[in-house]
Amino acid sequence: MSVDIVVVDNGSDRPVEPDLAATFPSVHFIRSEKNLGFTGGNNLGLDQALLLDPDYILFLNNDTEVAPNFLAPLVDFLELHPQAGAVQPKIFFWADKQRLWNNGNLFYSLTGQTAVQGYGQPDKVGQSSASLQPWLTGCAFMMRACLCKAPYHLRFDDRFFALYEDVDLSFKIRGLGYSLYLVPDSVIYHHAGYSSNSRTKSKEGYTHPLMVYLNSRNRIWVVRRYTPWYFLPTAIVWLTLYFLLLLPYFLLRGRMQKARMVIKAIKDGLLASLA
């Protein structure tokens, strides 16, 4: 199996390309002068990867470590199952390699909300077969490269910037008639939260207000795009209750930036065009 690696420096303040390029001459390095978000950084790498004419594209977070031979089970599954459009590995926390970070995903059509299976739980012994998924995590997301070319041209939607972009791309793949799977024989480890959380606590807490905005706005966008019309009333009720609890929580704790971000997110989430 031939593998090409593309590394994207997504607007970091400490470029590392010269040193890494000398150490790993076979790796393709790309640098963006500004932070393009999770979506833009991955799409920048995707454009470079497509020039290499691959069969499959793997998006892999930079805060992950992989188990030996993690790649082969993903490729083998796609080779053997032509109806599968994309796959993901089983993901553990890096700090506790017996504790799951993601062992599959859920989508509740009644409310238009997503959830992760197995988070924080010990691994289930004996799980060996691949399982059908409603969406896959962008932490480690392998898809058929043909879906990124004409006539489909699939990629992460840059309007999301970060959060829920993987849900959106997953549903687009499913919309083309392909299925999504978790392949448990493939294992990686995730440091988790390093891009969204500060190491020190401020008046606004550990999570950056921008992440609160993106989480809130993009949550609304997923409901608007993928909740069946007959479940929209219940989804709207759920979102209303969610924000009626979230906004007072921030106000009572004096986290005014986050409160303002929630209000802005509701406005942008409802009024933005998703065409």
Q: Does one domain contain both 161 and 84?
A: yes
Q: What predicted TM-score, i.e. pTM, was given to this entire model?
A: 0.94
Using pLDDT thresholds of 50, 70 and 90, give the confidence band for residue 125.
low
pLDDT in tens, 157-172: 999 999 999 999 999 9
Whether residue 128 is contained in a domain is answered as yes
Q: Are residues 175 and 203 in the same domain?
A: no
Element at 239 (helix H, strand E): helix 232-252
Residue 160 lies in a domain: yes
For all residues of the chain together, what is the average pLDDT? 94
Whether 146 and 264 share a structural domain: no
- Give pLDDT, residue 194: 61
Asked if 186 and 229 sit in the same domain, the reply is no
Residue 93 sits in the same domain as residue 136: yes
The SS3 assignment for 202 reads strand
Residue 1 located in a structural domain: no
3-state secondary structure 131-158: EEECCCCCCEEEEEHHHHCCCCCCCCCC
| Residue 216 pLDDT | 98
| Domain-ending residue, one of 174, 190, 206 | 190
Are 177 and 254 contained in the same domain?
A: no
- Let me know if residue 217 belongs to a domain: yes
Residues 172 and 264 in one domain: no
The amino acid at residue 215 is N
pLDDT digits (tens, 9 = 90+) for 15-70: 766 677 788 888 999 999 999 999 999 999 999 999 999 999 999 999 999 999 99
Given its phi and psi angles, is residue 69 left (phi above 0), alpha (psi -120 to 50 degrees) or beta?
left
pLDDT on residue 203? 83
The reply to whether 43 falls in a domain is no
* Core vs surface per residue 68-100: b (16+ CB within 10 A) or e: eebbebbbebbeeeeebbbbbbbbbbbeeeeeb
- Gap between the Cα atoms of 54 and 56, Å rounded: 5
- Does one domain contain both 185 and 60? yes
Domains identified in the chain, total number: 2
Calculate the alpha carbon distances from 130 to 114, 171, 214 in Å: 20, 19, 31
Pair (186, 209) in one structural domain = no
On whether both 232 and 146 belong to a single domain, the answer is no
Does 233 share its domain with 185?
no
Sign, CA dihedral 186-187-191-197, equals positive
pLDDT in tens, 213-254: 999 999 999 999 999 999 999 999 999 999 999 999 999 999
Mean pLDDT along residues 92-108: 96
Domain boundary among 190, 221, 256: 190
The angle subtended at Cα 148 by Cα 145 and Cα 152, nearest 5°, is 130
Look at residues 190, 215, 232 and tell me which one is the last residue of a structural domain: 190
Answer whether residue 29 is part of any domain. Answer: no
Task: Please state whether beta strands 113-116 and 105-108 pair in parallel, antiparallel, or not at all (unpaired).
Answer: antiparallel
Domain assignment present for 25? no
Domain with residue 153: its CATH number is 3.90.550.10
Q: For residue 199, what pLDDT band results from cuts at 50, 70 and 90? A: low
Residue pair 73/188 in contact (Cβ under 8 Å)? The answer is no
Q: Which one-letter amino acid corresponds to residue 219?
A: R
CB-CB contact of 106 with 132 (8 Å): no
Residue pair 163/214 in contact by the 8 Å Cβ criterion: yes
Average pLDDT over residues 121-134: 86
| Residue partners of 116: CB distance under 8 A and separation at least 6 | 101, 102, 103, 104, 105, 106, 137
What residue numbers bound the domain in which 64 lies? 56-190
SS3 content of the chain, % helix, strand, coil (to 5): 40, 25, 35
161 & 85 share domain: yes
